[in-house]
Structure 1
Amino acid sequence: MIHEVFMPALSSTMTEGKIVSWSKSPGDKVEKGETILVVESDKADMDVEAFYEGYLATIIVPADESAPVGNAIALIAETEAEIEAAKQQAASLGSSGTPAAAPAPSPAAAATPAPAAAPAATNGSRPSGRVIVSPRARKLAKSLKVD
């Protein structure tokens, strides 16, 4: 069986990642949990582990290139005999790689409603005009003679 390695979302704001380096080369044996590549996100460089055991059949996105979160970046074949089939599958993924980029804007769209909910949460006063503050803030305001 051939498994896809996807570009992971390493943070909630990450929409694409840059592949810094591949720890494995095509044809190398890969163990489950073993680091296969390093991805640079908007915040840090992170090791990406294999979720499957097998052989790194082909690399779809080479080092120093970027890919949207969720796109296939490599293929892992369970047996050496499946490597050729994985290479053919990678060729078809490479030619149709642009439609897979369409789901990437969804996380950005999901993040848009969050600011709309923020004004309701910042309502710190009641209709009576009384301001709700913590005891520490009240003590600090009193010491600074601020009302």
Structure 2
Amino acid sequence: MVGTYGYMPPEYAVHGRYSMKSDVFSFGVIILEIISGNKIKGFYDSENSLNLLGHAWRLWIENMPLELLDTHLFEMCISSEVIRSIHVGLLCVQQKPEDRPDMSSVILMLNGEKLLPQPKAPGFYSGKSSLEATSLSSNQMSLTIFEAR
């Protein structure tokens, strides 16, 4: 298996299957990197235990998408265009290939020529679940949760 860490879609990284929308996933990662000013490989939100995709998703569902924007770009950007770009980026990095748009739709979405569906959680999203929050029980037994890199 070859590919650059962080840009490989889940279906390829986990199962070695390449889909027609694998490149769409990588493009979505790049969109979110440009907006945030952070690289996928070097970003980690330690407070919430999230990578860049999870961090972008958390801000999106908490209705704070502009907090993803690199502070150096804040004064130069039109907020509606930034929000649209984040929205498209999140659509591109969805877990299942069938939920991602194709590249021709991505172009129309970025140009404002196509309605945007609501995104689902991105691939490799590792938000805290109730199971993870209770990883230590009263008898101090540990629980390991395996996740793809």
State the TM-score, normalized to the length of structure 2.
Answer: 0.25
Q: Report the structure, 1 or 2, having the larger helix content.
A: 2
Q: Report the structure, 1 or 2, having the larger strand content.
A: 1
- The structure with more radius of gyration: 1
